[in-house]
Amino acid sequence: MRITDVRTVLLTGPSSNDPFIQEARKRRSAAFIEVITDGPPAGLGETYAGYFCPEAVPAIVDFFKPILIGQTVDDIPALWQRMYHCGNFWCRVGLGVAVLNGIEAALWDLKGKMLGLPVHALLGGCKHARLPCYATGGPSLFPKERLARKLDYYASLGFRGVKVGTGARWPDRRYQAREAAEAADFEADKVAFMRAHLGPDAWLMMDGHMGNNHEFTWNLEIATAVARALEPYGVFFLEEPLHYTDPWGYAELCRATTTPIAGGECLTAAYEWRVFADQDSFDIGQPDASFTGGLGEFMKVAAMLERRGRKIATHAWGAGGSLMQNLHAGFAAANCTMLEIAPAYAGLHSEVIDGGLVLKDGYVLPPDRPGLGIVLSEDTKRRYPFVPGSGEFNSVPGKILVP
C-alpha cells in the first residue's frame, strides 16, 4: 500500500463548550493533514501550528509532499529523517518541524490502522494502566466566587486536577502583578483558596504563560518569589513562569524552589530540547506530540528527560488530533506523570475523537482504537469552514487578538 497524496485541511470552529474558556476565546483554528493511499486506509494527523498560524501550514506540507508520494509506512523514522534533512536550512527547529509533526502523526495513524494497533503500541508499548489528567481552564476568573464556580464545573465533569493562569480576569478588567512581593502574595492567596475549595487530594497547577502577561514578562526574581510562595500548597507544577529565551533562568529557578517547575510546550525538535534538558531547566517537561516535531521526537525528548531523572506531562491545546497524539505518546513514555485535557470540548474535538478518550475517576485509560483513534468526516469539514485570521496570537499594538 503506497502513499498517493498528502493534503492539508484547515478548519475553524468553536473554541470550547466550556463557558469559562469561552469568556476568553470563542473560536479556534486547526490544521489537519491527511495521508492518502492507493488502498482504503488513510492517515490523519494534526499540527498545533494550525492554532497559531494556519495559513502557513499548507505550503509547508506541499514542500514535503513529494518525499512521501509512492512510499510505504514500513519505516516512518526514515521518512521523517528524509523530510527533516530536506528542510535542514529552515526546519531544524520552529515552524517547519512543527508542521512536519502533523505529517508524521498521520503516518503513524495510517500504520496503526493497517496493523489494527493503537499507535502507543507502535511507539514501544503502553507503559501505564491509567494516567492522571487535569482540566486546562484558561484564565483565573475573579472575584473568587466566579473562580469557585469554575472549579466546581470541572469537578462536575470528573476532573480531580485543574490548571488556571496567573493573574486574574474580571468581567471588565485584567490584573497581573508586576512586583515580586505583590505577585507572590496574590498567587499564594489564590492557590490557598483553590486548595481549601477542592480539598487536599486535588491536583492543582498554575500556568505562567511563558511569563507573558499583557505585554509584561516576568523576570527570575518574580518567578522565584511566586514559586516559593506556592510551596506550602503542594501544587503539582508551576508552568512556564519564564520566557523560553532564558533556559539558564529556568535552571536557576528549579534550584531555588521545591515547587516543581514545568515547561516546554513551545520547544521544537530534540535538538532544541537538549539545550534545556542538559542543564535541568525543568522538573517536569511538557512536550507536545503535535508540535515538538513528531511522535518519534516526543519519545526522544521523554527519554532525554528520563535519563536525567525528570518527568513529563503532556501539553495538548490543539484540536482532537493533537489531544489523541499526546495521549498515545504519553502512554508510551514511562516517565509521563500527567495528561492535559481540554474540558467540555467542542466540535473540532468531539467530532474528531473516535471514542478512544475514556476518563474514569480523574484518570485517562489507554486509547484502544487502531491508529490514533481520530476521524475527519466530510460533514465536519463542511460544518467548520476555515476563517482566515482565526489563528490565536498574543495581542500587541497593530496585532489584536481575534476573539
Separation between Cα atoms, residue 133 and residue 277, nearest integer Å: 24
Residue 17 is which amino acid? N
Q: What is the 3-state secondary structure (H, E, C) of 267-322?
A: CCHHHHHHHHHCCCCCCEECCCCCCCCCHHHHHHHHHHHHHCCCEEECCCCCCHHH
Q: What is the mean pLDDT of residues 69-93?
A: 97
pLDDT score for 215: 64
Torsion angles phi and psi, residue 329, rounded to 5: -65, -40
Three-state secondary structure readout of 120-157:
HHHCCCCCCCCEEEEEECCCCECCHHHHHHHHHHHHHC
Distance CA 15, CA 29 (A): 8
Q: Region 209-222: what's the mean pLDDT?
A: 81
For residue 138, give the nearest of 197, 227, 218, 209 by alpha carbon: 209
What whole-number distance in Å separates Cα of residue 384 and Cα of residue 388? 12
Q: Which of 24-33, 83-92, 109-118, 210-219 has the lowest mean pLDDT?
A: 210-219
Q: What is the mean pLDDT of residues 313-326?
A: 97
**Shared fold status for 3-120+377-383 and 124-365:** no
What pLDDT sits at residue 396?
65
Residue 212 banded pLDDT, cuts 50, 70, 90? low
Torsions phi, psi of 295, nearest 5? -65, -35
Q: What is the band of 216 on the pLDDT scale with cuts at 50, 70, 90? A: confident
Other residues' Cβ atoms within 10 Å of the Cβ of residue 387: 15
* Per-domain boundaries in the chain: 3-120+377-383, 124-365
Q: If you write DSSP's letter for every residue of 79-100 in order, what string do you get?
A: HHHHHHHHTTTT-SSSHHHHHH
pLDDT above 70 coverage of the chain, percent: 96
CATH of 3-120+377-383, one of 3.30.390.10, 3.40.190.10, 3.90.550.10, 3.40.50.720: 3.30.390.10
Q: Across all residues in the chain, what is the average pLDDT? A: 95
Query: Residue 398 above 80 pLDDT?
Result: no
According to CATH, the superfamily of the domain at 124-365 is Enolase-like C-terminal domain (3.20.20.120)
Please state whether 389 falls in left (phi above 0), alpha (psi between -120 and 50) or beta. Answer: left
Q: How many residues does the chain have?
A: 403
- Other Cβ atoms less than 10 A from the Cβ of 76: the count is 20
Residue pair 57/30 in contact (Cβ under 8 Å)? The answer is: no
Judge whether 120 and 332 are in contact, CB under 8 Å.
yes
